[in-house]
Amino acid sequence: MITIQKRDSVTRKQGALRQLASIAGALMIGALVIFLSGYNPGTVYIEIIRGSLGSGYSISETVQTVIPLLIMALGVTICFKVKFINIGPEGQFYTGAMAATYFAITWPDLPRGALLALMCASSIAMGGLWCVIPALLKVKVGVNETLVTLMMNYIAIKFVAYLQYGPWKDPSVIGYPVIRQFSQSGILPDALGVHSGWIIAILLLIGMIALLGKTKYGYKITVLGENPNTARYAGYGTAKLLVSATFIGGGLCGIAGFIQASGVENSLNAMLSNGWGFTSIVVAWMGRLKPLPIVAVSVLIAVLIQGCTYLQISMGVPYFMASVIQAIILFFILGSDFFMNYRIVRRQGDKEAEARR
Amino acid sequence: MAYIQLRNITKKFGSVYANRRICLDIHKGEIHALLGGNGSGKTTLMNILAGRYKYDEGNILIDGRKAVFHSPGDSVKAGIGMIHQHVDLVDSLSVEENILAGTEKGLFPTRKKARGKIKDLAELYDFHVEPEGKVYQLTIGGKQAVEILKVFYRGASVLILDEPTSVLAPIEARALFVNLGKMKENGCAIVLITHKMQEVFDISDRVTVLRKGEAVYTSLTADTGQSMLTEKMVGHAIEGRTEYRAAPRRDIRPLLAVSDVTVHNRFGSAALSGVSLDIRPGEIHGIAGAAGSGQKELCDVIAGIAAADEGRILYNGKDIAHMPIAGRAAKGVRIGYVPEDRMDTGLVGGMCISDNVMLRRIDREKGLFFNEKKARDLALRIIGKYGVDAVDPAQKLKDLSGGNIQKILLGREIEEAPDLLITAYPVRGLDIGATNYIFGLLRERRDSGMAILFVGEDTDVLLELCDRISTLYRGRLTATLDAAGTTKAELGLFMAGGGTGGTR
């Protein structure tokens, strides 16, 4: 008979070892899947690394993937810290991108600094608002935020599609509907060969580490998340704290939308996010809501995403293979969580169990 | 031969021994008291026997045969049932559903037979519970009865009770003890975990004293005495206290005047109705009453956590009944509060000591940042001043023992220098040493002019510690008495709703 037992405690080192073991395990199972599909696992893995980190170009592509993943994962983190299960980074990303695009195509002739600042600020406001609506619904009438944030994703995505096919359609492009390209003023300048969104990402990362770990506000948020009764007892305005934290979280996702529209696409369309809003939830979760591990996980996922895109081109491996490998890795890492806290024991009878003791 | 024999049981948490080479015999038809202070390892030892923890070394013999428990289920199969300190029932389900949970086989089990068995068991032990009644309608004593029925229904012949009387009113505790006597006569083995000396002599046949994880003494209860047990428990003899108490002074203006306060619970019925009392500086004002008579609502409403539906609460003449907690300090309202369930309200178990001591004052700190050094210094001060057994302010609070956690909470609230300190059952679950320390601290604060509201359950303690005592019965205030000159019997009468306002 097989039963599950709770482990007493796991040291930090044991924890790290298990994480590494789970990644190794994922790569092994992934290798098996690749092999069964008729490819050489070794070559595939090497190609993934080459495609994501092998050249200046591939590195810049990977960095461009890390930026939105990281920023949105930070946004998700602060929401999760106050036990607000934000499944809506995707929607907050799009509303942020929409706000930025509005200014970029309405006032294309503003000086670059002014226009970018306007786009950035508006993306925070809109992304934040998109996250605050479910927060208010939760605080005022007790509506479950998981469902509301999830559904509001689709509202935002479909609204972008509407803009793309309707009011914001570029009349000068014949054939398929696109939104007008941004003017130079609306485009993030490059820095070291990548759009300067990476500088914003690093600043936000530092800001987030400081906010969560060093400020009174971060302290109160932690108290609220860990024990709401105690937060009320201490007289913290719990509703205000929740709403402000969700505004920050949504605002971050909004910034990611602004960066992606301005720095990568130089425009807006309904596929701008590549679904990375959802991926960022996994990133935040795998990073255990801690900023630095989140950076590491963002890089890992970005390498997989970019490497697998490259696989399609170099080896003709269909992209679904890439998704399979990604899924296996996620599965293993999340699974390792379980093995951190529990172990599985086999037992035939008490006598044998006693012998193993 | 003893029915259950624990042999050299050792259990470590990290590098700390919770149990060290403990031997214990449990006989059928006998009540075995397990006496010891907080953190002495009583509950750990019994959790091992109940299959909740794995032990590191030693053996458990049942009826002379070696037994290995992998889970609580194995222990239940061996006929062992444990009643934990806090009842663990699903409030919205019926008594019978709670009892049957996990035992029913098949998709559509029939309840008829089970119901009969539950009724028989309830009758046997005089438990007045209806199998079809909902659990939330029961008193705490009633819920405990359901827990006991649950383990008997599962065929337990060994019953472990972890401080069962700590949540009960005296009258309920007496009824429980009568039942334990019956169970014993029916051949059950009973282990009673307690830190109350009186209970050992009231009911047990055999007593084992644990101290710091070791079994230091075992004896037939008839062959030992109170001073012997106390000495074994604490490790040294305790000198008697001399207590000086002046008569309450009537000429001092009250600090707090509660008048006609009514609080409705979330189901809309009055948890507190028309309560009026005043608290003066330099007095310990006791609140007595059976559990759930409105004590929590009274404390919460004064502390500002809950709003009063009717009535006024005057603090130095200012009505604070609807003043939010956040603004109180700025307006000179300084009320400290040690709530009933400290881990649920008042502290954050997952955060470290130095984070927890900053909880109240964080909004008064200047600037944007959390001052780590200040927090650490304050934590060290509280650790030193209040004798907390902790080495590092970075220790997680939940890793400390109950007594130490309580000292930190009390220390934090006192360091805030409140004019009024509300303490709800501040010594519940604490050992003699910690209890005496906390009582001493409260007296000392009282003497320096603090007003203290003390919610208690033990009438002896209330009469000894308090200057005046108000009694609550079903949310109504039945009397306010001077402690000096009041007898236990009088107090008990008012607690049971007797006297002036106590009609149902």
* A164-196 tens-digit pLDDT: 998 999 888 887 889 999 999 999 999 888 899
Q: For residue A198, what pLDDT is reported? A: 96
* H-type alpha helices, A142-215: 145-165, 197-214
Of B68, B324, B346, the CB nearest to A354: B68
Percent of chain A at pLDDT exceeding 70: 93
Q: For residue A144, what pLDDT is reported? A: 94
* A299-318 tens-digit pLDDT: 988 998 888 888 888 888 77
Kindly report the CA angle at B108 between B104 and B112, in degrees rounded to 5? 70
In the predicted structure, residue A353 carries a pLDDT above the cut 50: no
Q: For residue A59, what pLDDT is reported? A: 93
The reply to whether residue B355 touches residue A227, judged by beta carbons under 8 angstroms, is no
Residue A330 tokens, joined: 């996620």
Backbone angles phi, psi at B256, to 5 degrees: -130, 130
List A residues 225-264 in contact with B (Cβ-Cβ < 8 A).
226-227, 229-230, 232-237
Of B325, B344, B367, the CB nearest to A235: B325
The C-alpha atoms of residue B495 and residue B478 are separated, in whole angstroms, by 7
Of B68, B339, B368, the CB nearest to A216: B368
The reply to whether residue B350 touches residue A347, judged by beta carbons under 8 angstroms, is no
What does DSSP assign to residue B110?
Answer: -
Strand blocks (E) in chain A: 2-6, 190-191, 194-195, 342-346
Q: Where are the domains of chain A?
A: 69-288
Can you name the residues that pair with A191 across neighbouring β-strands? A194
Q: For residue A318, what pLDDT is reported? A: 79
Name every chain B residue with its beta carbon within 8 A of the beta carbon of A233: 303, 305, 325, 337, 339, 345-346
Bridging pattern class, strands B420-424 and B451-455: parallel
**Torsion on CA atoms B297, B303, B305, B311, rounded to nearest 10:** 60
Q: For residue B274, what pLDDT is reported? A: 92
The residue among A166 and A353 whose pLDDT is bigger is A166
Q: For residue A324, what pLDDT is reported? A: 80
pLDDT range class, residue A320, cuts 50, 70, 90? confident
Q: Could you tell me how far CA B55 lies from the centroid of its own chain?
A: 27
* B264-274 tens-digit pLDDT: 877 777 889 99
Select from A229, A232, A342, A345 the residue whose CB has the most chain B CBs within 10 Å, as the one to mutate to test that interface: A229
Select from A209, A216, A345, A356 the residue whose CB has the most chain B CBs within 10 Å, as the one to mutate to test that interface: A216
Task: Please give, rounded to a whole number of angstroms, the shortest distance from the CA of B473 to a CA of chain A.
Answer: 26
Q: For residue B98, what pLDDT is reported? A: 87
Sign of CA dihedral B167, B172, B178, B182: negative
Q: For residue B218, what pLDDT is reported? A: 92
In the predicted structure, residue A352 carries a pLDDT above the cut 50: no
Name every chain B residue with its beta carbon within 8 A of the beta carbon of A81: none
Across the A:B interface, residue pairs with CB atoms under 8 Å apart total: 83
Over its C-alpha atoms, chain B yields an Rg (Å, rounded) of 24
Q: What is the mean pLDDT of residues A202-209?
A: 97
- Please tell me which residue of chain A has the smallest CA distance to B355: A219
Select from B68, B301, B335, B371 the residue whose CB has the most chain A CBs within 10 Å, as the one to mutate to test that interface: B68
CB of A342 less than 8 A from some CB of B: no
pLDDT range class, residue A132, cuts 50, 70, 90? very high
Name every chain B residue with its beta carbon within 8 A of the beta carbon of A222: 348, 351, 355
Of B14, B66, B346, the CB nearest to A354: B66
Q: If we measure between CA atoms, which residue out of B18, B8, B20, B10 comes closest to residue B40? A: B18
CB of A343 less than 8 A from some CB of B: no
Q: For residue A84, what pLDDT is reported? A: 96
The reply to whether residue B325 touches residue A218, judged by beta carbons under 8 angstroms, is no
Q: Which residues of B touch A (CB under 8 A)?
A: 13-14, 54, 66-68, 70-71, 303-305, 324-326, 328, 337, 339, 344-351, 355, 358-360, 362-363, 365, 367-370
The C-alpha atoms of residue A259 and residue A257 are separated, in whole angstroms, by 5
Amino acid at position B134, single letter:
K
In the predicted structure, residue A202 carries a pLDDT above the cut 60: yes
Residue A121 tokens, joined: 């600020």
Q: For residue B501, what pLDDT is reported? A: 43
Of A3, A215, A230, the CB nearest to B346: A230
Containing B471, the helix (H) or strand (E) segment is strand B468-473
Name every chain B residue with its beta carbon within 8 A of the beta carbon of A219: 355, 358, 362, 370
Q: For residue B407, what pLDDT is reported? A: 92
Of B71, B345, B358, the CB nearest to A233: B345
The C-alpha atoms of residue A169 and residue B381 are separated, in whole angstroms, by 67
Of B13, B348, B368, the CB nearest to A230: B348
Name every chain A residue with its beta carbon within 8 A of the beta carbon of B54: 5, 8
The residue among A15 and A226 whose pLDDT is bigger is A226
Sign of CA dihedral A101, A103, A104, A107: positive
CB of A8 less than 8 A from some CB of B: yes
pLDDT range class, residue A349, cuts 50, 70, 90? very low
Strand blocks (E) in B237-332: 256-264, 270-279, 284-288, 310-315, 318-319
The residue among A59 and B243 whose pLDDT is bigger is A59
Q: CA A219 → CA A47, A78, A210, A243, B396, distances in Å? A: 45, 12, 11, 16, 15
What does DSSP assign to residue A196?
Answer: T
In the predicted structure, residue A354 carries a pLDDT above the cut 50: no
The reply to whether residue B370 touches residue A233, judged by beta carbons under 8 angstroms, is no
The C-alpha atoms of residue B479 and residue B471 are separated, in whole angstroms, by 5
Q: For residue A97, what pLDDT is reported? A: 97
Q: For residue B240, what pLDDT is reported? A: 44
Average pLDDT for chain A = 89
* CB neighbours of residue A4 within 10 Å: 12
**Is B475 within 8 Å of B273 (Cβ atoms)?**
yes
Q: DSSP labels for B393-445?
A: TTSBGGGS-HHHHHHHHHHHHHHT--SEEEEESTTTT--HHHHHHHHHHHHHH
Q: For residue A244, what pLDDT is reported? A: 97
The reply to whether residue B328 touches residue A235, judged by beta carbons under 8 angstroms, is yes
Q: Which residues of chain B are under the pLDDT cut of 50?
A: 239-244, 501-504
The pTM assigned to this predicted structure is 0.75
Of A215, A226, A347, the CB nearest to B70: A347
